Amino acid sequence: MTVEGPKTPRADWRAIHRELSRRISTREWAPGDLIPGEETLAAEFGCARATVNRALNALAEAGLVVRRRKAGTRVAETPIRQAKLSIPLIREEIEALGADYAYRLISSSPADMAPPGRFAPDAPLVHVAALHFADSRPYVLETRWIDCSVVPGADRPDLFASQSANEWLVRHAPYAGGEMVMSAAPANATEAEALGVSIATPLFIAERLTRAPSANGGNAGSPVTFARLAYAPGRKLRLHL
């Protein structure tokens, strides 16, 4: 009998998910073990197979089990292997810290120098540098290039005077996918001055390339924008596993 509380629904896929999750985390079912099939579990929990299927799919998506036709479902050998990283707008990130947000454009101009190899050689680029502040202190330096042939209007003067490129792009650029690379690097002269730290101070760097939807509807079209974010010291990226 699985029904316990007065308000307990007869068969809730979340309840099944919890129970299976428990059996795995307590090693009642150890890594590598083959667990019962959907039909069997459905009988055990007294519900339809589709309900068990949903619970198992959620476990699979979280990386707790590995499912294969005919082979069955097994507890993953390496259980915690995936985490979801939410990427908020910088303004939201700062406001979530309980700090006041401010923005200042440093420069916006047709690009002289472009980051090598990311855009087509003849792409009409705009270069934008801007600072984001938390409680009047520099929080992150944003250095960005935008391909105007993909995002018409991005070369309008003063466009980014009072709104960050990211927020404008979110509203005006088509998107499909992209890549993000995070690393640690010493502050260069520009970053040091903008953030008010010494040269070579360790900075958390996030670089992000966004791509337009490709012709066939896939998610690997031509680059729309490339941004390098250099965070002031102390910035931490938190994840829940």
Partner DNA sequence: AAGTGGTCTAGACCACAAT
Partner DNA sequence: TTGTGGTCTAGACCACTTA
Site for DNA, rule CB under 7 A: 9-14, 37-39, 46-51, 53-54, 56-57, 60, 67-73
Asked if residue 88 binds a copy of itself (CB under 8 A), the reply is: yes
Nearer residue to a copy of itself within complex by CB, 101 or 231: 231
Binder of residue 188, out of a copy of itself, DNA, none (CB less than 5 to 8 A by kind): none
Asked if residue 7 binds a copy of itself (CB under 8 A), the reply is: no
- Amino acid identity, residue 28? E
CB of 37 to DNA, least distance (A): 3
Please give the helix or strand (H or E) that residue 143 lies within, else none: strand 137-147
Stretch that binds a copy of itself, among 15-23, 38-46, 96-104, 140-148 (CB under 8 A): 15-23
DSSP 16-29: HHHHHHHHHHTTSS
Q: Is 210 exposed, middle or buried (0-12, 13-18, 19+ CB in 10 A)?
A: buried
Nearer residue to DNA within complex by CB, 6 or 234: 6
Q: Kindly state the number of chain residues that form the binding site for a copy of itself, as judged by CB under 8 A.
A: 58
Cα 207 from Cα 222, distance rounded (Å): 17
Asked if residue 180 binds a copy of itself (CB under 8 A), the reply is: yes
Stretch that binds a copy of itself, among 39-47, 97-105, 141-149, 180-188 (CB under 8 A): 180-188
- Measured between its terminal Cα atoms, the distance across the chain in Å is 31
Please give the helix or strand (H or E) that residue 208 lies within, else none: strand 202-211
Asked if residue 74 binds a copy of itself (CB under 8 A), the reply is: no
> Could you tell me which residues come within 8 angstroms of residue 90 by beta carbon, excluding any fewer than 6 positions away?
132, 139, 140, 142, 164, 166, 229
Binder of residue 202, out of DNA, a copy of itself, none (CB less than 5 to 8 A by kind): a copy of itself
- Between the CA of residue 103 and those of 130, 135, 137, 164, what are the distances in Å? 7, 11, 11, 7
Binder of residue 37, out of a copy of itself, DNA, none (CB less than 5 to 8 A by kind): DNA
Nearer residue to DNA within complex by CB, 59 or 169: 59
